[in-house]
A = this chain, B = another copy of it.
């Protein structure tokens, strides 16, 4: 580093970028109690525009962080997709409708809410958890990694030099557009049609050095969640691989005034609605996607150049100066003819050229990580960008937290790239197919092989729906997912196996409805002690804890009761995962939560029918009533039928190991705790004090 006479500080994790990916990381780490700093060169948060779709999996994650209900209440709910295609006369008409979210895949459905509100939920949660406030107007200028320290888990191998900007410097230039005389924000400053302004910011800051101060931050881990122009990625010298397409799209957030929902003009079969999500595919003018939003806003994604037009000009960047809300609206008008669309209120607009690229590597030494737009860029039309970006860091955060706390070995950090780079690759492939269907010309008839047929279009939507929901994510075999097969085949190629000694096999057939590698599905169960119904996922808040759920069957029968007792004894044993990896000074559920789900009659069962590991006792608080649940009809909220839904045999049961991010690591025999011990031994570090103490403490040996 050039001159070292600047103040230095330490943090466990430094995050660059305060978009959804960065904020998800900061929030998740705050929930785990990890010291974190998050900085951004921009001076303010987003107030409107940007990404807006929230997948149902993202809502599940939000709920696990404590603010799912806020997103659910404030958002617009999209229930139905309507597909519009040209009829035999080349005039668009409604050709089909499908549910927006597949029925039954989640307790949430896809909704739309602007990014600014989502960032607000994160910021509020960070504050509630006592996390550090976001450092805005803080520009990273130099990155140094001390490679000699990367394997020492207590070291701070990362050094980042930052410059605190003045307010003026940290405010991006925005094109002043006006609608009805009012200035309107546009998103071009973040679009890939605009050159990156980082250099400019650095240059300006240097000029104004008196008004600024510098700081050196030493960190154990660094996250680059700093967007498509990622500064962190460029410091690492990593590349994005892939291409720009020829497709240019414009985005308008407007309160539309339209007769698009009038059927007067057309025949009786036409009855779409601007409050539904619509995919409109004109005969020769391109496509429009309609996304109804909160506060009567509607977002329109509008194709500005067709493939035919682009072919003439090649894949060159579009002429930015010719793009305005007026020209974008004119394109929409052409596509949606003979219907009219206009507006009096314009909230935000932007334009972009679709590029589909994936980062070559998501991590350097498992010390610096990249996430979100920094490692994958694609079309925004399927509403994936923000969701996948947040899910990147949701995947990463608990792993980093676990390593920082000394609970897990650094080896698990490799699974970040293995799991998330594979998702990014799948996403780009999906986006390729999806974008071509949208940007391509509709087929004129069945003989028109170059065009996109209506059937293909609908089929892609139906199949795309599951992908787009986020529920389909299925992490491959690794040290933290006990699945058969080669780990390199199932991820992005990274080797992430447990060593042979600790390799554990799931018995998926014990619970076909709980697929290993996917997120834990959810139905309602009742708390044994107070009969309150909970969605199973509500029992899995994101706070860094692993959960082991034992489906112990009908414990009113002697055999199941004996089995449950044996499980309790095995977990309570000095050599169990619970005793080995929970510190003696920590609370009984500081690392693992042991849950039981039984199906004996609730009224004739009490928590005292269970071994004490399922109802731990605390001197101040008495017994813990929140770990034992029953599969029974509720008074007011129906019957989840968890055994039936997840296909668990009531007389056999099973054990399910659930990661801190709700993904299923392992399904196996209920009473074979040894297998679970082996699983955790593959990557966890014994809490030595606890373990040694236990060996000398006869009380813990309850058998």
Residues of chain A having any CB pair with chain B under 8 Å: 69, 73, 76-80, 97, 99, 101, 103, 109, 255-258, 261-264, 271, 273, 275-276, 292, 296, 344-345, 527, 529-532, 603-608, 619-622, 625, 634-636
Chain A interface secondary structure, helix, strand, loop or mixed?
loop
**Chain B positions within 8 Å of A256 at CB level:** 622
Q: Is the CB of A263 within 8 A of B608?
A: yes
Q: Is the CB of B271 within 8 A of A530?
A: no
**Chain B positions within 8 Å of A101 at CB level:** 635-636
Query: Could you tell me the distance between the alpha carbons of A364 and B606 in the complex, rounded to whole angstroms?
Result: 56
Q: Is the CB of B255 within 8 A of A621?
A: yes
**Chain B positions within 8 Å of A606 at CB level:** 261-263, 271, 273
Min distance, Cβ A351 to any Cβ of chain B, angstroms = 24
**Chain B positions within 8 Å of A99 at CB level:** 635-636
Query: Could you tell me the distance between the alpha carbons of A257 and B101 in the complex, rounded to whole angstroms?
Result: 47
Q: Knowing A271-B604, A271-B605, A636-B109 touch, does A79 contact B531 (C-beta < 8 A)?
A: yes
The residue of chain B having its C-beta at the shortest distance from the C-beta of A344 within the complex is B620
Min distance, Cβ A295 to any Cβ of chain B, angstroms = 9
Q: Knowing A79-B532, A622-B296 touch, does A103 contact B636 (C-beta < 8 A)?
A: yes
Q: Is the CB of A262 within 8 A of B608?
A: yes
Min distance, Cβ A458 to any Cβ of chain B, angstroms = 16
Min distance, Cβ A248 to any Cβ of chain B, angstroms = 28
Q: Is the CB of B69 within 8 A of A261?
A: no
How many monomers of this protein are in the complex? Answer: 2
Min distance, Cβ A588 to any Cβ of chain B, angstroms = 15
**Chain B positions within 8 Å of A636 at CB level:** 79, 99, 101, 103, 109
Q: Is the CB of A345 within 8 A of B603?
A: no
Q: Is the CB of A530 within 8 A of B273?
A: yes
A-B contact pairs, 14 of them (CB 8 A): A79-B532, A79-B636, A80-B530, A97-B603, A101-B635, A103-B635, A257-B622, A261-B608, A263-B606, A271-B605, A275-B529, A276-B529, A276-B531, A296-B625
Query: Could you tell me the distance between the alpha carbons of A384 and B420 in the complex, rounded to whole angstroms?
Result: 54
**Chain B positions within 8 Å of A529 at CB level:** 261, 273, 275-276
Q: Is the CB of A532 within 8 A of B264?
A: no
**Chain B positions within 8 Å of A275 at CB level:** 527, 529-530, 625
Query: Could you tell me the distance between the alpha carbons of A145 and B100 in the complex, rounded to whole angstroms?
Result: 61
Query: Could you tell me the distance between the alpha carbons of A109 and B530 in the complex, rounded to whole angstroms?
Result: 14
Query: Could you tell me the distance between the alpha carbons of A151 and B81 in the complex, rounded to whole angstroms?
Result: 58
**Chain B positions within 8 Å of A273 at CB level:** 529-530, 606
**Chain B positions within 8 Å of A603 at CB level:** 97, 271
Query: Could you tell me the distance between the alpha carbons of A6 and B622 in the complex, rounded to whole angstroms?
Result: 57
**Chain B positions within 8 Å of A620 at CB level:** 255, 344-345
Min distance, Cβ A341 to any Cβ of chain B, angstroms = 10
Min distance, Cβ A429 to any Cβ of chain B, angstroms = 28
The residue of chain B having its C-beta at the shortest distance from the C-beta of A296 within the complex is B621
The residue of chain B having its C-beta at the shortest distance from the C-beta of A638 within the complex is B638
Q: Is the CB of B77 within 8 A of A532?
A: yes
**Chain B positions within 8 Å of A255 at CB level:** 620-622
Query: Could you tell me the distance between the alpha carbons of A149 and B636 in the complex, rounded to whole angstroms?
Result: 52
**Chain B positions within 8 Å of A276 at CB level:** 529-531
The residue of chain B having its C-beta at the shortest distance from the C-beta of A111 within the complex is B532
Query: Could you tell me the distance between the alpha carbons of A583 and B314 in the complex, rounded to whole angstroms?
Result: 60
Min distance, Cβ A605 to any Cβ of chain B, angstroms = 7
Known A-B contacts: A79-B635, A275-B527, A275-B625. Give 19 more (CB < 8 A): A69-B69, A79-B531, A79-B532, A79-B634, A97-B603, A103-B635, A103-B636, A109-B635, A255-B620, A261-B606, A261-B607, A273-B606, A275-B529, A275-B530, A276-B529, A292-B530, A296-B625, A345-B620, A345-B621
**Chain B positions within 8 Å of A69 at CB level:** 69, 73
List the 4 shortest-distance A-B pairs measured between CB atoms, nearest first.
A275-B530, A79-B531, A275-B529, A257-B622
**Chain B positions within 8 Å of A77 at CB level:** 530, 532
Most buried by B among A77, A256, A262, A634: A77
Query: Could you tell me the distance between the alpha carbons of A103 and B531 in the complex, rounded to whole angstroms?
Result: 14
The residue of chain B having its C-beta at the shortest distance from the C-beta of A622 within the complex is B257
The residue of chain B having its C-beta at the shortest distance from the C-beta of A254 within the complex is B622
Query: Could you tell me the distance between the alpha carbons of A109 and B264 in the complex, rounded to whole angstroms?
Result: 47
Min distance, Cβ A209 to any Cβ of chain B, angstroms = 42
**Chain B positions within 8 Å of A80 at CB level:** 530-531, 635
Min distance, Cβ A63 to any Cβ of chain B, angstroms = 11
Q: Knowing A73-B69, A275-B530 touch, does A344 contact B635 (C-beta < 8 A)?
A: no
The residue of chain B having its C-beta at the shortest distance from the C-beta of A604 within the complex is B271
User: Pick the contact of A79 from B292, B530, B619 — CB < 8 Å?
Assistant: B530
Most buried by B among A99, A605, A606: A606
**Chain B positions within 8 Å of A262 at CB level:** 606, 608
Query: Could you tell me the distance between the alpha carbons of A261 and B605 in the complex, rounded to whole angstroms?
Result: 11
**Chain B positions within 8 Å of A635 at CB level:** 79-80, 99, 101, 103, 109
Min distance, Cβ A283 to any Cβ of chain B, angstroms = 24
Min distance, Cβ A31 to any Cβ of chain B, angstroms = 17
